[in-house]
Structure 1
């Protein structure tokens, strides 16, 4: 007679998952775009001899209970021109066309980028044999200052900003439907996606979502 083995207990669900990674990348002949304000905004490609990006990124996700999920992530990125002796001069520099940008930060890369959020949910009364749940979640983010032009003009520096977004809704447990309402930039933060100056003494920019949106 073959003995019957007792079933193994199911492994505990992962309540916390965390990841950490460090990175270091050197790039030679890095290609970037220059906008020549002296020639009506004509853009062209140029090469920096060497750039470097290095830093640390981490993320964590937690599910302490069945009805609550939390997450967070962050990146520190030290991204710089290592060698760019013949870089473009910012518009505020006159009398020269080339400037040494070696050691300066790369445009478009924030030193800090952080996001965090979560979701809380509850099961509703079963109807028509189906399970439903209501939920409320948030997704928040922060980016530190950066610059939006290759010349690193002081007029194209984008201040850091934080955004608050929420969502709430009702969905079926099997995923067949999800009725959701969203609110974006609930604090009505004013922030820019790009900024640049031109030779007409004007500074132009692209704004992000300027007000709460449903």
Structure 2
């Protein structure tokens, strides 16, 4: 039976832990926990670390994965414990206001969203049809900034990419023929061609953990 990273995320939530708190108990960095959660399959070593330090056996089938739907999303504008909620920036990830996602204190969240499945993420807009039909234009994205993307990145996932020249992309990242210098960016929409992006032009990469379809 394949155990993926989503089960680890649900397990951490079931213990009422933040990713930072879970990382301390697991004896790893928060970024390592983020990387584990993004994996399509957790190896036996990770499963044993989780079992020994969190007391949860992910392989026993008792951890259920529940995907959130928009009708259970609760928007709370005045809540004391905002650190437990998801900050939402009403900005277009693809065009403008990207400083909201990589500079501290420059732009404040418009409000906070309560979506337990994506605690630890940042929420923002995407206005592009390059990932249609998977991600609709206007959807709310939930992303986690990757600090060690240059040395470790799981190919085949959807990422938000910000470049030094201000360009932004929402794409699949695949391995290119020149892996040490370039990423191959692919769209879901067949009308968009694949292209190579030099790693040296990248400022930040966000792992897209999920999204909510929302046109308004």
Q: TM-score, normalised by structure 2?
A: 0.20
TM-score, normalization by structure 1: 0.20
Larger Rg: 1
Q: Quick check: which one's helix share is greater?
A: 2
Which structure shows the higher strand fraction?
A: 1
